Amino acid sequence: MSWIWFALGSAFFAGLTAILGKLGVAGLNSNLATFIRTVVILLVTSAIISWRHEWQLPKHIAARPFTFLILSGLATGLSWLCYYRALQLAPASWVAPIDKLSVVIAIVLGVVLLGEPLSIKLVAGSLLIVAGVLVLTL
């Protein structure tokens, strides 16, 4: 169940990202701000990989997973560019809830593209997230 701690850490740091990002894009081009953030992430990740001695690549990297990692990186970059531009244009308290619609999008894509099981709990949770976003943004 250690995944829960990582998921909670992700949520905490994502929330912190909104506030720090809002402060960071003040008076700075949002694309440049995204680049600076990306360089920091590269440096931190490189340090962690070095500290854990994880630089060794597998002898064979299958093309399909590698392609999906590249596409995921592109999606992440586009998400960050949009997110920082939105933070420049609107309060973090407006942008962050809309950004969390990504949870609903991930659920829908998981069910449609990955064949993950759909349950009443997933539907109810998704509807509550959408309702929460509407309450916070309207």
Q: 30-51 and 2-24 are packed helices; what angle lies between their axes, rounded to 10 degrees?
A: 140
Over 90: is that where the pLDDT of 137 sits? no
pLDDT at 45: 95
pTM score, whole prediction: 0.83
Residue-wise pLDDT for 123-133, tens only, equals: 999 999 999 99
Q: What is the pLDDT of residues 55-81, one digit of tens each?
A: 987 878 888 888 999 999 999 999 999
The DSSP line for 51-110 is: HTT--PPPS---HHHHHHHHHHHHHHHHHHHHHHHHHHHS-HHHHHHHHTHHHHHHHHHH
